[in-house]
Structure 1
Amino acid sequence: MTGKEGRRMVKEIIEAVKKQGDEALRYYTEKFDGVRLDSFKVTETEIQEAYRNLDDSLLEIIREAIENIRLFHSKQKRDSWFMTNPDGTVLGQKVTPLDSAGVYVPGGTAAYPSSVLMNVIPAQVAGVERIAMVSPPSRDGVIPAGVLVAANELGVTEIYKAGGAQAVAALAYGTETIKPVDKIVGPGNIFVATAKREVFGDVDIDMIAGPSEIAVVADETARANEAAADLLSQAEHDPLSKCMLITTSQAFAEEVKLEVEKQLEDLPRKDIAKASIDQNGEFLVAETKEEAIRLVNELAPEHLELLVKDPFEWLGSIRHAGAIFMGRYSSEPVGDYFAGPNHVLPTSGTARFSSPLNVDDFTKKSSVIYYSKEAFEKNAGKIAEFARYEGLEAHARAIEERLKQGE
C-alpha cells in the first residue's frame, strides 16, 4: 500500500466515525481487530480479572515505576505568575491544565503498560481532569492485563477497547460512547500516526513519531558486549529502527560488530533486529572527541548513550538529543521503564527543536494584562502611533476613545 492509499483509507475511516459514531467504530474494530464488540468500555470485572492474571512481582514493579515517574514529572510543573509595576500595571501568565486528554496505547498481540504510565502521569501532574484511554483488543475481546492494571493503578476510569485510526477519530470527534478530548498522545502504527496528523488542528497531538533511534558513543573504557546489547535494544523495535555506534577506535567498532552478530543468534526478535542492523545500523569511527560530538549533534538522536569515562565532561557539548544516558549503568531501558524521565521522545532529528513528552504538553498559558489609568494615559499615544503605522486605524481609535475629555 502506498502512502497516498494509506492516507485515503485513514481519511475514509475518520469521516465514517464522524458521521456514524459507534457503528463505524464497531465495524472497523471487527474488520481490523477480528472481534465484534457489544460494548467498548472496559468493565470493573475485566479490570479485576486483569489483576488475577498479572504476577504480583510485576504489579509491585509497576507501582514503583509510577512513583519514580510521578516524582520526576512533578518537578516540571509550572505555576501562574504576575508582576506589578510602579504605575499600577499588572502583567502575568495564567497556567491552565487542559480539560481532557486521550491516550492511545498500542495493543493487540503486544502489551505496553509502560506507555500507559508515560502518557498518563504527566497529564495527571499537569492537572488534566479527564483522561480517556484507548487500546486495541485482541481477538478474544480483551486488553492485555498489564495495560489494564497500569491504567487502574493510575486511577484512569475511561478505558475503551478500540484501536487504529478509528480510535483516534473517536477521541478527536466523539461517538455515542466516547466523548471527544482536547489532545491525543501516545504511539501507534503508521495508520495511527496518519490519523493523528489528519485530526491535528481540531485537537492537539503530541508528535508524529518515526522509527526508534539510538546513538551509542563509546571510548576505550566501554565494553563491547554492553554497547552491542544497547544497540540491539532499539533494533528489536522495528526493521526501520536506526542504531549507530560512534567511537574513536576502529578495533572497538569491529569488536562491537562481532558482539552484535553473536547476540543476535538467540534473540527472540532476531529477524526484526537483524533487518534493523543490516539496513539502518552504522558503525562510525571518529578521529577525535570533538568530531564524535559533532556527529551526535547532527544526528539529534532520540536516545543517546555516553559510554565514556566521564560523561559529565561531554554533557555540556551535547545540544541535540531526546534523552541522554550517562555512563555504563544508565542503559537505555533504564529510562524506558523505571528511572522517571519520559520515554516519549522526539525522533527523526526533531530533537533539534522539540522535547520529550512533559507536563507542559498538557497545559496552556494565557497572558494577563491589566493597565491602570496612569499607565494607559502614559502610553496611549505610542500605541496609537504604532497602530497607524501598520494601517490599522480602528486599533488607534480604540485607544483614543478613552482619552476623550469629559468621559
Structure 2
Amino acid sequence: MVVGTGNQQFRRYIIIRTANMLAKFEDLWKRYVFPPLSDFARLVYKLLTPLPEKARLPVSIIGGSVLFYALMVVTNPKTKTFEPREQSWDVRVHNVVFGTTIPEFMSFGEVMAERNIFLRALVDGEVISVSDDLHEGAFIKKGEKLLTIDPFEYENALGEAKAQLISAEASLKMSLQDYERAQKLFEKGTVALRYLDEKKTDLTVKRANVDRLKIVVRRAKRNLENTNVVAPFDAYVSKVTVDEGRLVNRNDHIALLSDASSYEIRFNLSDSEYGSLLSTQTKILGQPVIAIWKVGDKEISFEGNVKYVGARIDPSIRGVDVIADVKDIGNSQIRGGAFVEVIMQGNKLSNVASIPEDAVFTDNENIKFVYVITNNRLEVRRVKSLMKVGGNILISEGVSDGENVLTTRFTEAAEGVLVNIP
C-alpha cells in the first residue's frame, strides 16, 4: 500500500467530507423541501389551468407578490415603542433665611508705625560716645541718651556768652544810674534836655544789648544740650549711620525711629465693596476693624477703628486705601511691615438674606435674578441685591423666607426646567 504525502491526505479528507455533506443535503431536500414545493407547484398549476394563457403570467406575478408580502408581514420583528421622558437635572440648592446681619469685609493689610522719623544731628562735631542700644532692631525708651557729640566748643561758647551777658548787665546798671542822675539834674535845671536824651538813649541801647546776649546764652545752652541726642519716644531703631569717632554735621541722618507705642493698619477696599458701603449709607470713618497677625501657629488679634480713607480710588488695584488705628497691641511686640488679615464690619442690616454668589444670575439688561425651586421646577425671581460680602450676596427682596434657590449653574437652566434635589 502506497502512503501519500500530508497534503494529499488533507485533500482526500476534504473531498470525503464534502461528499458526505452533499449527500445529507440531498437527502434533506428530497424529504422536506421537494415534496412541499411539488405540492405547491401542482396547486398553482390547477389554479392557472382554467385561465387564458395570456392571463397566467400576470396572475402568477401578482400571486407571488401577495405571497411575498404576507411572508414579510408574518416574519417582520415587532418593535417596542417608548414614550419620551422629560429629563431632570440633579442640582444643589441654598435655603434662604432672612434676618439681621452685620456684613464683614475681608482684606489683607500692613501694619505701620504711626510715627516714623529720621533722627538727625542738631549740632556739628565729633561723636564721642554711642549708646549700646543704638543698633538695628533695638528697642529704646523715651528720653534715653543715644549718643554724645563733643561738647567742648559749645561749653566754651556758653561760657563766653554768659560772661558777655554779665558785662552787659553791669553796664546796663551803670547806664540806669546815670539816667536817673541826669533826670534829677534836669528837674533842677542844671542840665539841658539834650543831655537827658543822650542818657536815655544810652540806657535803651544797653537794655537791647542785654536782651540780645540773653538770647545768645539761651542758644548756647540749647546747642550744648543738643550735643546729647536722646530718644523722643519709645521706638524701634533701624538704618543707623553713625559710630563713635565720626564727624557729623547739622541735619545729618543718625537713625530711623519707628514709634513702638502706636500703630496703624493700611488695607484696601475694592471699588465694589466701597460702593456697597456707600449705597447702604454706611459711615466708614469709625467703623470697627479687627486685624489678625499670624505668627507661626499663633494668631494675635488687634482691634481698632477706621481713622481715614484715601482721597482717591487707585486705578492700578481698583480700590481705595483705608487707614485704621490700633487701640492696644499688648505684649505682642509687633513690628511695622507685619502682614495681617483685616476684617472690617459694616452697619447692622435688618431683614436681609445671604445667598451664595453662584445663585445670582444677570440677564442681558443687567437685572439680577435667581431660580427658585417650586414643585421641582425652576421659577425665575428678580431680586434686590444690596452688596457683595466675600463669596455671598445680601438680598432684601424677591425671595421668601424658607425657599430654596438654585446654586448649580448649567446651560439648560431656564424657567420651568425639571430638577431633582438629591
TM-score class normalised by the smaller sequence: under 0.3
Identify the structure with the greater helix proportion: 1
Identify the structure with the greater strand proportion: 2
Higher relative contact order, structure no. (Cα contacts within 8 Å, ≥ 6 residues apart): 2
Q: From the CA coordinates, give the structure whose radius of gyration is larger.
A: 2
The TM-score, its normalising length taken from structure 2, stands at 0.15
